[in-house]
């Protein structure tokens, strides 16, 4: 059925697909399924999925670390946050660790500028970051 | 923007294209509006009364220049080798704005051209992200293959899930190419063969189906290089399907017949026109003298022009002295003509394709419109998605349109009378019918009502397999619609009950008062470019031009007076009857123009028997078809691009062809060949042009009475057009039926002639696919078309395939009581259990070896859609 009466569901379905995936991404099969369910075409679903930066079409780490690089965080030293993370995880922005546990990304504004610099790991937001605090958070996650 | 363009005011633009929605994304069409701050995009701003607009001043021009420079900075400037050089809106704009130097760095990252499609080249480096192709794909073709991904600073054009075009649902219509303002999307096969200014451009009519799309041929050195859809074309408004846009190369195929051929000892030898024509006339004369007029027959052609068809039937009737002249309309819509002539008095599409948008509900049955009449099929999809038109599909196969349907009824093959009666049973019982219309405009309602009352939804479910509640829902949908339009094709007509099926649909339309208004009616979609016209001008065994009956003395007298010869009062034989008579030795000589019965007719083994049994067979065609191979003399005619004349499209629109290239080799225009043979047989005619022939047609054919070449122009004329100043008729039966009152005919359900049984357990249905046409003599000689679809296939349901232990692409032997063939299997849910489907385009697996030549008793149309077959693994 391609009459477009279910197209409004597409974002919710993409979100669900990504959350349910072990590697935090939306597989090609899921994209096709979502197209069928919503009556959208493949290219339309792909267009939506690639517009939102929180959706990924490539496997991501178990933990996706998104560091804010908008004005306030930049001023409060997000550069050093990136440096620490890149050094600790041995990856660059946009990459995933070889063991598939961590992905590092850059985002614009997490909405807690009062606690800049900030980052988000999966659903959880961390503010007032220092290199030390980051190391502690990473140690905590690596243990899990 | 539209207002400005209509009034001849130029506003530069890139992302705007007439016929597509507006997005205002390129910002080139910025204008100032008095009272509004800043500048607004003209394309997305609606005009209001009293609005004052400044379309150009220094500030606007400066802003436009800046915008175009920014666009140019993300565009690869390879105009030297670009197909669109000279036909590029970006290039024009840069020139008009006088952009000598781009102030920004050119930052396009260079990516490879995507060439997976047989016909479309996608060059991302030339893409300016205007989105016209995306909208054309979504809004015209409604295929939605193209879209933008990663919208933002890195936006790029994708097809499917960022796949190569060939791996997507792309139907290769090329609407994206026509929409593209630059050279980002171009015709793959026309590459490096010429640029805009080198082409001679000739407008004419597409030679494939009956939609009648207007096309512009782009010609260099007498070779067609490219085809565009003409935006003003009344039937297509610029749109084309893959066949119309890319399937033209058969015109220049090396197999084209370039000289007459005469068969000596089973082998063809080249001959001069004089030799061939003298032989043809001598043989026909000899057979006529020896065996009488009725031992001769002719098959005319729905591919040829009205003028040629008129001359052909005139030739058979005057020189042969028989009415044994027919053509393939007999095999497609004879039952439509018979049924509608009886019910309404006129056997053609009642309404216009352009006015489907006025309908609330469109009932499509027995028409796989998106494949057989793609431009109309795409339009239906467009109406369903963007116009709120409800589609109701009744079809045994899960065709593409079912995905866009509000209701899809899946009937068993050959049970059409039953479901239509069932629908009307519900409509009458629920009091949804139009009493006023029935009372004032029709007759015989009570008789009809009695028969319909027997077809309760419960009974109909048993016959057709359509669930009761679905039938009731469908009845309410059609019954309650203010304007309901019925569209049908071969699925309704190609049955032994074809005429009954058509009569039933006519009953349904009359019951709900859906005749004689815009957006309503009974609309048979005609399959060939000029099958409507060939019928109109009398290439049928029972009627003269204008459906004037051979059996009526008055009509006969009129033609005898005009043509100056005595005419036979006996109705002639029809297509299938001619083959039958030939195999019995009753027909001795046959003249076939542009038809290929050796693939198109049912029960091919029987056809071969007939043709081989002839004393003399002449075939006039542009290729050595399967039929021509059996001929004694082959005469090379010409293609649509090499002649003048008219085609009449499915909604009765007579349109003008324009000669684009000279005849290939020594081939001759078909009307000239007929004139030559006629002259040599002692009946000289002296037409100097097809226009003169049309004048004669007009003088003898009331429905064409006002049709003259000088009136046809770009829009053509829809018949009936009885007089010189009549504007033509967009829809029929307004206020009054052609026959006076509409006639209800009580029709009972009769099962098909042959149904599956233990020995032949499957029901075989046949039809077309998008990429080929009829017997493939044209489309199979087109490189892109045959490249996309090189072989035939058998559609079979997954469950049946499993039972038979068949896998996709396995070869199977398919046989019926009449013949057998080998074919590849395609497993799909499109067909129901116990039903298989095959196309009839491929000589290698010719479906018509199997089909049943059982005929509808009234219209003499064979039952292509139902025959019993068995499947064996090989």
Instruction: Let me know whether B132 and B153 are in one domain.
Output: yes
Residue B656 lies in a domain: yes
Helices A10-20 & A42-51 angle (0-180, nearest 10): 70
Instruction: Specify if B246 maps to a domain.
Output: no
Give the number of domains in chain B: 4
Q: Kindly report the number of other CB atoms within 10 A of residue B221's CB atom.
A: 10
What pLDDT score was predicted for residue A4? 62
- B440 and B549 together in one domain: no
Distance (Å, whole) CA B103 – CA A38: 45
pLDDT at B874: 86
Using one digit for the tens of pLDDT, what is the confidence trace for B482-501? 999 999 999 999 999 999 99
Cβ pair B591, B578 in contact under 8 A: no
A-chain residue closest to B155, CA distance: A51
Inside any domain, residue B575: yes
CATH (domain of B635) = 3.40.50.740
Residue B686 counted as domain residue: no
Long-range contacts of B786-793 (CB under 8 A, 24+ apart): B787/B118, B788/B118, B788/B172, B788/B242, B791/B824, B791/B842, B791/B844, B791/B845, B792/B823, B792/B824, B792/B838, B792/B839, B792/B841, B792/B842, B792/B844, B792/B845, B792/B847, B793/B823, B793/B824, B793/B825, B793/B826, B793/B838, B793/B839
Distances (CA, A) of B257 to B270, B600, B638: 10, 21, 9
Measuring CA to CA, which residue among B800, B822, B813 is closest to residue B873? B813
User: Which of A2, A28, A50 comes nearest B149 by C-beta?
Assistant: A50
Q: How many other β-carbons are positioned within 10 Å of the β-carbon of residue B751?
A: 15
Q: How does the average pLDDT of chain B come out, rounded? A: 93
Is A4 part of the contact surface with chain B (CB cutoff 8 Å)?
yes
ipTM above 0.90, yes or no: no
In a domain, B454, yes or no: yes
B573 and B705 both lie in a single domain: yes
Q: Name the token pair of B145.
A: 């293959």
* DSSP-based three-state secondary structure for A42: helix
Of the candidates A39, A13, A36, the one whose C-alpha atom is nearest the C-alpha of residue A26 is: A13
- Domain boundary pick from B171, B198, B225: B198
**pLDDT tens digits for B763-794?**
999 999 999 998 888 899 999 999 999 999 99
CATH of the domain at B771: 2.40.40.20
Is residue B853, in this structure, part of any structural domain at all? Answer: yes
CA atoms within 13 A on the CB side of B498: 31
Residues B453 and B562 in one domain: no
Contacts of B85 (CB under 8 A, 6+ apart): B79, B91, B183, B195, B196
Q: What is the per-residue pLDDT across B345-365, written as a single tens digit (0 to 9) for each?
A: 888 899 998 899 999 999 999
Report the distance separating Cα B442 and Cα B760, nearest Å: 44
* pLDDT for the residue B110: 80
Q: Which of A2, A28, A43 sits opposite B147 (nearest CB)?
A: A43
B475: domain CATH number? 3.40.228.10
Same domain, B494 and B509: yes
Chain A environment of B163 (Cβ under 8 Å):
42
For Cα atoms B26, B132, B28, give the angle at the middle one, nearest 5 degrees: 20
Q: Is residue B753 over pLDDT 80?
A: yes
Q: Are B808 and B826 in contact (CB under 8 A)?
A: yes
> Mean of the pLDDT values across residues B300-316?
96
Asked whether the predicted pLDDT for residue B109 surpasses 80, the reply is no
Helix (H) or strand (E) holding A38: helix A28-38
Distances from the Cα of A43 to the Cα of A53, B171, B348, angstroms = 17, 15, 41
Do the domain assignments include residue B222?
Answer: no
Indicate whether B256 belongs to any domain. Answer: no
Q: If you write DSSP's letter for every residue of A83-112 in order, what string do you get?
A: HHHHHHHT--TT-B-TTS-EEEEEES--S-
Stretches where chain A sits below pLDDT 70 are 1-5
Helix axes B468-480 and B416-429, enclosed angle (nearest 10): 60
Task: Give the closest of B151, B384, B403 to A51, CB-based.
Answer: B151
Residues 6 or more apart whose Cβ sits within 8 Å of residue B262: B268, B269, B271, B275, B276, B279, B632, B633, B634
- State residue B509's pLDDT score: 95
User: B814 and B772 in contact (C-beta within 8 Å)?
Assistant: no
One domain for residues B299 and B397: no
Query: Residue B277: what are its φ and ψ, rounded to 5°?
Result: -65, -40
Report the pLDDT averaged over residues B542-553. Answer: 93
> Buried b vs exposed e over B609-647: b needs ≥16 C-beta within 10 Å?
ebbebbbbbbbbbbbbbbbbebbbbbbbbbbbbbbbbbb
Find the CATH number of the domain harbouring B19: 3.30.70.20
Cα B209 from Cα A64, distance rounded (Å): 56
Torsion-angle region of residue B68: left (phi > 0), alpha (psi -120 to 50) or beta? alpha
Domain that holds residue B147: 2-198
Q: Model confidence over B614-671: pLDDT tens digits?
A: 999 999 999 999 999 999 999 999 999 999 999 999 999 999 999 999 999 999 999 9
Do residue B150 and residue A50 have CB atoms under 8 angstroms apart? yes
In the predicted model, is pLDDT for residue B709 greater than 90? yes
User: What residues contact residue B493 under an 8 Å CB cut-off, 6+ apart?
Assistant: B332, B333, B334, B335, B336, B366, B501, B502, B524, B859, B861
* Residues of chain A numbered 28-47 and touching chain B (CB < 8 Å): 28, 31-32, 40-47
Count of H-run helices and E-run strands, chain A = 6, 4
CB contact under 8 A, B385 and A4: yes
For residues B177 and B13, what is the distance between their CA atoms, to the nearest angstrom? 18
pLDDT of residue A3: 64
Q: Which residues in chain A touch residue B159, judged by CB atoms under 8 angstroms apart?
A: 43
Which residues face B218 on adjacent strands? B201, B226
d(CA B313, CA B301) in angstroms, rounded, equals 10
Is B708 a residue whose pLDDT tops 70?
A: yes
Q: Which of residues 70-129 of A touch B (CB under 8 A)?
A: none
User: What distance in Å separates the CA atoms of residue B193 and residue B214, rounded to the nearest whole number?
Assistant: 23
Which residues of chain A make contact with B168, given a CB cutoff of 8 A? 42-43
Q: What pLDDT is stored for residue B404 in this prediction?
A: 94
Residues B178 and B310 in one domain: no
Radius of gyration, CA atoms only, chain B: 28
CA distance B52 to B35: 9
Q: Among residues 381-420 of chain B, which lie with CB inside 8 Å of chain A? A: 381, 384-385, 403-404, 406
Residue B552: both structure tokens together:
């009526």
CB atoms within 10 A of CB B426: 23
Cβ-contact B243, B184 below 8 angstroms: no
Does residue B155 belong to the interface with chain A, where contact is any CB pair within 8 Å?
Answer: no
Contact B152 A51 (CB under 8 A): yes
Q: Read off the pLDDT of residues B3-18 as tens digits, 9 standing for 90 and up.
A: 888 888 889 999 999 9
Are B324 and B283 members of one domain? yes
Whether the upstream peptide bond of residue B720 has omega within 30° of 0, thus cis, is yes
Q: Of B167, B198, B229, which marks where a domain is finished?
A: B198
On the question of a cis peptide bond just before residue A117, with omega within 30 degrees of 0, the verdict is yes
Q: Where does the pLDDT of residue B394 fall: very low under 50, low under 70, confident under 90, or very high at 90 and above?
A: very high
The reply to whether B12 and B136 lie within a common domain is: yes
Distances (CA, A) of B426 to B10, B116, B455, B501: 57, 51, 9, 18
Calpha distance B199→B85 (Å, rounded):
13
pLDDT on residue B226 = 95
B818-869 pLDDT tens trace: 999 999 999 999 999 999 999 988 888 888 888 888 888 888 888 889 999 9
**Nearest-neighbour CA in chain B from A6: distance (Å):** 13
Residues B179, B74: one domain? yes
User: Are residue B341 and residue B473 in the same domain, yes or no?
Assistant: yes
CB contact under 8 A, B151 and A31: no
> Which residue in B583, B617, B533, B547 sits closest to B329, CA to CA?
B533
**In the structure encoding, which two tokens stand for residue B482, read together?**
């203010």
Q: Give residue for tokens 């009886």.
A: B342
**pTM (2 decimals)?**
0.93
Size of chain B in residues:
874
> CA nearest B407 in A: which residue?
A1
Residues B279 and B180 in one domain: no
DSSP string of B649-676, one letter each residue: -TTSEEEEE---SPPSTT---HHHHHHH
Among A2, A43, A45, the residue with its CB nearest the CB of B146 is A43
Residue B186: Cβ-neighbour burial (10 angstroms; 0-12, 13-18, 19+): buried
Q: Among B161, B381, B403, select the one facing A46 at the smallest CB separation.
A: B161
Nearest Cα to B169, choosing from B207, B138, B130? Answer: B138
d(C-alpha B197, C-alpha B270), whole Å: 39
Q: Which of B219, B568, B235 is nearest to B379 (CA)?
A: B235
Q: What is the DSSP string of B688-700?
A: SSHHHHHHHHHHH
Look-up of token digits 């599409």: B349
Q: Which residues contact B487 (CB under 8 A, 6 or more apart)?
A: B362, B363, B364, B365, B367, B369, B523, B524, B525
Range B199-210 average pLDDT: 95
Residues B96, B77: Cα–Cα separation, whole Å:
17
**Sign of the C-alpha dihedral computed for residues B463, B469, B470 and B472 taken in this order:** positive
The residue from B524, B539, B571 where one domain ends is: B524
């Amino acid at each position: 059925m391609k009459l477009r009466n279910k197209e409004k569901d597409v974002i919710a379905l993409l979100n669900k697909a990504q959350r349910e995936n072990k590697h935090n991404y939306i597989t090609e099969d899921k994209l096709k399924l979502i197209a069928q369910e919503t009556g959208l075409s493949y290219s339309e679903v792909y267009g939506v999925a690639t517009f939102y930066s929180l959706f990924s079409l490539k496997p991501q780490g178990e933990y996706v670390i998104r560091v804010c690089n908008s004005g306030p965080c930049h001023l409060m030293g997000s550069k050093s946050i990136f440096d620490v993370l890149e050094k600790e995880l041995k990856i660059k922005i946009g990459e995933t660790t070889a063991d598939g546990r961590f992905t590092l990304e850059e985002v614009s504004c997490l909405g807690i500028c009062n606690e800049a610099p900030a980052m988000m790991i999966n659903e959880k937001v961390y503010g007032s970051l220092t290199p030390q605090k980051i190391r502690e958070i990473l140690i905590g996650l690596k243990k899990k | 923007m539209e207002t400005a363009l209509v009034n001849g005011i130029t506003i530069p633009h890139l992302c705007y294209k007439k016929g597509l929605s507006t997005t205002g994304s390129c910002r080139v069409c910025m204008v100032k509006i008095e009272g509004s701050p800043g500048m607004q995009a003209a394309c997305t701003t609606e005009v209001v009364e009293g609005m004052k607009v400044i379309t150009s001043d220094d500030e606007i021009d400066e802003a436009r220049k800046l915008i175009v420079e920014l666009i140019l900075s993300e565009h690869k400037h390879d105009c030297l080798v670009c197909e669109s050089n000279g036909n590029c809106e970006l290039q024009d704009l840069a020139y008009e704005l006088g952009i000598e130097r781009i102030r920004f760095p050119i930052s396009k990252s260079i990516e490879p051209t995507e060439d997976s499609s047989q016909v479309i080249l996608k060059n991302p480096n030339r893409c300016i992200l205007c989105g016209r192709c995306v909208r054309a794909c979504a809004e015209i073709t409604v295929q939605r293959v193209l879209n933008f991904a990663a919208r933002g600073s890195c936006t790029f054009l994708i097809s499917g899930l960022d796949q190569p075009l060939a791996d997507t649902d792309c139907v290769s219509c090329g609407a994206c190419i026509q929409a593209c303002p630059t050279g980002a999307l171009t015709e793959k096969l026309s590459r490096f063969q010429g640029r805009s200014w080198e082409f001679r451009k000739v407008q004419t009519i597409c030679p494939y189906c009956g939609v009648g799309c207007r096309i512009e041929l782009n010609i260099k050195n007498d070779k067609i290089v490219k085809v565009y859809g003409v935006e003003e074309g009344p039937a297509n408004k610029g749109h084309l399907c893959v066949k119309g846009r890319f399937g033209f190369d058969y015109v220049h195929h090396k197999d084209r017949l370039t000289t007459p051929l005469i068969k000596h000892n089973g082998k063809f030898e080249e001959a001069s026109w004089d030799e061939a024509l003298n032989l043809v006339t001598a043989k026909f004369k000899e057979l006529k003298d020896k065996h009488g007029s009725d031992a001769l027959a002719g098959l005319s052609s729905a591919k040829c022009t009205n003028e040629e068809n008129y001359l052909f039937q005139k030739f058979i009737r005057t020189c042969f002295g028989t009415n044994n002249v027919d053509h393939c309309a007999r095999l497609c819509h004879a039952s439509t003509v018979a049924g509608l002539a009886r019910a309404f008095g006129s056997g053609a599409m009642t309404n216009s394709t352009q006015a489907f948008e006025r309908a609330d509900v469109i009932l499509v049955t027995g028409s796989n419109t998106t494949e057989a009449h793609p431009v109309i099929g795409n339009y239906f999809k467009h109406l369903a998605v963007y116009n709120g038109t409800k589609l109701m599909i009744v079809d045994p196969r899960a065709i593409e349109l079912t995905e866009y349907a509000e209701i899809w009824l899946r009937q068993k093959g050959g049970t059409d009378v039953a479901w239509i009666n069932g629908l009307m049973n519900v409509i009458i019982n629920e009091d949804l019918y139009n009493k006023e219309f029935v009372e004032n405009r029709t007759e015989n309602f009570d008789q009809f009502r009695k028969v319909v009352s027997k077809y309760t939804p419960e009974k109909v479910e048993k016959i057709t397999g359509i669930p009761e509640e679905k039938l009731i829902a469908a009845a309410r949908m059609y019954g309650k619609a203010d304007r309901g339009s019925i569209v049908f094709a071969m699925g309704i007509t190609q049955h032994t009950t074809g005429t009954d099926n058509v009569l039933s649909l006519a009953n349904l339309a009359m019951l709900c008062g859906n005749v004689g208004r815009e957006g309503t009616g009974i609309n048979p979609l005609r399959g060939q470019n000029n099958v409507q016209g060939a019928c109109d001008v009398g290439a049928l065994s029972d009627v003269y031009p204008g459906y004037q009956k051979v059996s009526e003395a008055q009509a006969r007298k009129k033609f005898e007076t005009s043509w100056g010869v005595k005419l036979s009062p006996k109705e002639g034989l029809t297509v299938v009857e001619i083959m039958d008579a030939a195999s019995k030795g009753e027909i001795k000589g046959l003249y076939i123009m542009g038809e290929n019965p050796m693939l198109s007719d049912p029960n091919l083994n029987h056809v071969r028997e007939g043709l081989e049994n002839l004393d003399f067979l002449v075939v006039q065609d542009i290729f050595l078809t399967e039929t021509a191979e059996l001929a004694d003399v082959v005469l090379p005619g010409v293609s649509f691009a090499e002649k003048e004349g008219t085609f009449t499209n499915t909604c009765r629109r007579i349109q003008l062809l324009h000669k684009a290239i000279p005849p290939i080799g020594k081939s001759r225009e078909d009307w000239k060949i007929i004139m030559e043979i006629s002259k040599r047989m002692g009946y000289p005619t002296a037409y100097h042009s097809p226009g003169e022939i049309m004048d004669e047609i007009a003088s003898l054919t009331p429905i064409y009475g006002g049709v003259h070449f000088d009136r046809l122009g770009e829009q053509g004329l829809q018949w009936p057009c009885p007089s010189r100043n009549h504007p033509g008729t967009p829809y029929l039966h307004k206020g009054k039926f052609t026959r006076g009152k509409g006639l209800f005919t009580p029709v009972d359900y009769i099962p098909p002639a042959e149904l599956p049984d233990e020995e032949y357990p499957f029901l075989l249905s046949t039809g077309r696919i998008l990429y080929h046409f009829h017997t493939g003599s044209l489309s199979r000689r087109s490189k892109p078309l045959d490249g996309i679809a090189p072989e035939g296939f058998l559609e079979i349901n997954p469950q049946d395939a499993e039972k038979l232990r068949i896998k996709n692409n396995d070869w199977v032997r398919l046989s019926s009581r009449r013949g057998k063939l080998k074919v590849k299997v395609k497993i799909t849910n499109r067909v129901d259990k116990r039903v298989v489907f095959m196309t009839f385009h491929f000589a290698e697996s010719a479906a018509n070896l199997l089909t049943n030549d059982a005929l509808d008793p009234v219209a003499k149309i064979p039952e292509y859609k139902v025959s019993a077959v068995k499947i064996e693994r090989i």
